[in-house]
Amino acid sequence: MATGPAFDDVLAAAQAGAAWAFEVLYRDLSPAVTGYLRLHGALDPDDLASETFLAVFRGLAGFSGDEDALRSWVFTIAHRRLVDDWRRRSRRPQLAEDAGDLLPETPGGDVEDDVLTRLGTETVHRLCAGLPADQRSVLLLRVLADLTVEQVAAVMGRSVGSVKALQRRGLRRLRAELEAAGTPRTGEASVTTGTAGAPLVARPAMTGAR
Amino acid sequence: MTTPADARTDEEAFAACLAGRPVPAGAQGLAAFTDAVRSSATAPGRPNAALAELLATGLLVPTQEPSRGTAGRPARTSRKRPHVLIPTLVAKFAAAGAVAKAAAAGGVVAVALTGAATAGALPGQQDTAVVESSDTIDTTTDEPTGTTDGTGDVTDEPAAGEPAAEEPVVEEPGTEPVVEEPVPVVEEPAVEVPVTDPAPESPETSEGGKPTDQQKFDRHPENPGRAASAEAHQRNAERKAERAVQPEAGTPEDEGTDEVLEAEQAPVVEQSAPAGHGKGNGKNGK
């Protein structure tokens, strides 16, 4: 965390309601939280992130712990808000914005170079959308929130073994997606996979699944 | 197809990506994915109005100090203040109608009289109570000499010179009908059997306090066996009179009378015999 050794002071000021401490915590945690919500396909990730931080700041007076504990707690609230958003959207279906976020069709070449050049923001969104919700949550919490397997298990309310299994299956699936994205190297026409044409909205498997 | 070795390689490559170490050669795509994910989450989100206000003004944390007005005072159970209660009642009484006022005054008087009577504050209440209690004690101490039982059958006889002692006995509601009824009944056997029982009342009743058979008999004038018993007594008296007139000469008439008496008494004996055998199991006669 960017707050560094001054974390205790920042936390004490935030627990006292100081605006500057809120600002410091928000600047430090908001990008990861917003990115986590956005890559999960939240309809309004900024609003969800705002609701998350409002809950964090209002409940901060009763928090006790170090910097890692605070990060884990913030992502726990964010994950619950996300699940609530999935459930709301399952009751009120949203229109899918099929913007044609597909992997760009490129001619053949070196796989690694192609992947590195192709993986833009939208491609990352599509790859994440191709993962089941639980596997996506595990991978994003490991990458974005920099949480350990145990912390991820606590955030998702699962066992450590279950989180490890979800991570293993998610990496396997991601590898398959990346290999499929590299298939043009062999001269085949298209790179689309079974899920390549899926819109970047929540799938039925994402709604309510933990 | 992914083998277990590939899965292990993926996990090692993923751990290397998270730790910032160089990844193996076959996991460049995973490293690229990780970097892309991190790079997509660098900009903070746009706060909504509530969060923007909170970030600008901070949060007012409530203090735990109690207010000066209520500090150190116990919680009041009633919301009404005590000094307001009496004027309120007076105002309500004044505003009430005439019937309501009369009813309220009557209720107050009734409550006051009841309370005074309970506390013994009414005039003359204690004196009468003491006199009555002493009278009852006197009657109970004087009665045993003249009465034969607790019913007061002989209360007319010892009507000595203590009118004060008889008054509480007459006042008792339970004893009045008992005293008045036996009076005519007692006179009848006294007239009919003067010869057989010359003194049926005096010695036995006065000594042991137990009622004689005649007195027990007189208590129930409605008893249907009373007439039969009176006839039997009369016959017995006539027989005794005949014996007294005829001095011990064995006439056939006497035998006849004896047989008659035995015949009369025989059923009594026969009745008592089966009663005695009936107590057993029926094998006594065998």
pLDDT of residue A31: 94
C-alpha to C-alpha distances, B120 to A196, B114, B130, nearest whole angstrom = 104, 10, 13
Distance to chain A for B79, nearest Cα, Å: 35
Of B7, B28, B50, which has the smallest distance from its Cβ to A168's Cβ? B7
- A and B: number of Cβ contacts within 8 A: 135
Q: Is B32 in contact with A143 (Cβ distance < 8 A)?
A: no
Q: Is B61 in contact with A17 (Cβ distance < 8 A)?
A: yes
ipTM reported for the complex, 2 dp: 0.72
Does residue B25 register a pLDDT over 80?
A: no
A89-96's contacts with Cβ under 8 Å and 24+ in sequence apart are A89/A43, A89/A202, A89/A207, A90/A202, A90/A204, A90/A207, A90/A208, A94/A43, A94/A201, A96/A199, A96/A201
pLDDT of residue B66: 55
pLDDT of residue B163: 41
Q: Is B45 in contact with A119 (Cβ distance < 8 A)?
A: no
Residues of chain A contacting residue B10, judged by C-beta atoms under 8 Å apart: 168, 171-172, 175
Let me know: does A102 contact A196? Beta carbons within 8 Å: yes
Distance to chain B for A168, nearest Cα, Å: 7
Distant-in-sequence, close-in-space partners of B206: CB < 8 Å, separation ≥ 6: B145, B148
Let me know: does B33 contact A119? Beta carbons within 8 Å: yes
In the chain, the amino acid numbered B54 is: L
Q: Is A142 in contact with B55 (Cβ distance < 8 A)?
A: no
Number of CB atoms found within 10 A of residue A81's CB: 20
Output the average pLDDT for chain B: 65
Of A27, A50, A171, which has the smallest distance from its Cβ to B51's Cβ? A50
Distant-in-sequence, close-in-space partners of B259: CB < 8 Å, separation ≥ 6: none
Distant-in-sequence, close-in-space partners of A209: CB < 8 Å, separation ≥ 6: A86, A132, A133, A134
Let me know: does A36 contact A141? Beta carbons within 8 Å: yes
Distant-in-sequence, close-in-space partners of A20: CB < 8 Å, separation ≥ 6: A13, B58
- pLDDT band at residue B256 using 50, 70 and 90 as cut-offs: very low
pLDDT of residue B90: 83
- With CA atoms as reference, report the closest residue to B144 among B156, B158, B133, B132: B158
Q: Is A36 in contact with B41 (Cβ distance < 8 A)?
A: yes
State whether residue B138 is helix, strand or coil: helix
pLDDT of residue B74: 59
DSSP state of A104: P
C-alpha to C-alpha distances, B218 to B141, B186, B194, B201, nearest whole angstrom = 26, 6, 15, 12
Taking the C-alpha atoms of residue B153 and residue A144, their distance in angstroms, rounded to an integer, is 115
Let me know: does A170 contact A136? Beta carbons within 8 Å: yes
- pLDDT top residue among B83 and B281: B83
**Element (DSSP H or E) covering residue A45:** helix A45-58
pLDDT of residue B280: 54
- pLDDT top residue among B224 and B146: B224
Number of CB atoms found within 10 A of residue A69's CB: 13
Q: Which A residues 52-81 touch B at CB under 8 Å?
A: 53-54, 57-58, 61
Q: Is B44 in contact with A51 (Cβ distance < 8 A)?
A: no
Distance to chain A for B14, nearest Cα, Å: 8
Cβ of residue A36 closer than 8 Å to a chain B Cβ: yes
pLDDT of residue B266: 42
List, in sequence order, the alpha helices (H) in B73-155: 82-95, 98-119, 125-142
What are chain A's domains? 4-91 (1.10.1740.10), 111-186 (1.10.10.10)
Percent of chain B exceeding pLDDT 70 equals 41
Q: Is A178 exposed, middle or buried (0-12, 13-18, 19+ CB in 10 A)?
A: buried
- With CA atoms as reference, report the closest residue to B52 among A119, A57, A105, A83: A57
Q: pLDDT for B174-188, tens place per residue?
A: 444 444 444 444 444
Q: pLDDT for B258-267, tens place per residue?
A: 444 444 444 4
Average pLDDT, integer, range B215-234? 75
Query: Six-digit token pair at A195?
Result: 């899920």
Cβ of residue A2 closer than 8 Å to a chain B Cβ: no
Q: Is A30 in contact with B29 (Cβ distance < 8 A)?
A: no
Sequence spans of domains, chain B = 10-36
Let me know: does A62 contact A40? Beta carbons within 8 Å: no
- pLDDT top residue among A133 and B24: A133
- pLDDT band at residue B96 using 50, 70 and 90 as cut-offs: confident
b/e burial code for range B159-189 (CB count within 10 A of at least 16 → b): eeeeeebbebbeeeeebeeebeebeebbeeb
pLDDT of residue B8: 75
- pLDDT top residue among A161 and B206: A161
- Residues of chain A with pLDDT below 70 are 1-5, 92-119, 181-210
> What is the CA A166 to chain-centroid distance, rounded?
15
Q: Is A51 in contact with B48 (Cβ distance < 8 A)?
A: yes
Taking the C-alpha atoms of residue A77 and residue A55, their distance in angstroms, rounded to an integer, is 8
pLDDT of residue A93: 58
Percent of chain B exceeding pLDDT 90 equals 7
Q: Is B58 in contact with A123 (Cβ distance < 8 A)?
A: no
Let me know: does A103 contact A205? Beta carbons within 8 Å: no
Q: Is A124 in contact with B7 (Cβ distance < 8 A)?
A: no
Taking the C-alpha atoms of residue A206 and residue A132, their distance in angstroms, rounded to an integer, is 7
pLDDT of residue A138: 94
Query: Six-digit token pair at A173?
Result: 């699936």
Residues of chain B contacting residue A116, judged by C-beta atoms under 8 Å apart: 28, 32
Distance to chain A for B67, nearest Cα, Å: 21
Distant-in-sequence, close-in-space partners of B119: CB < 8 Å, separation ≥ 6: none
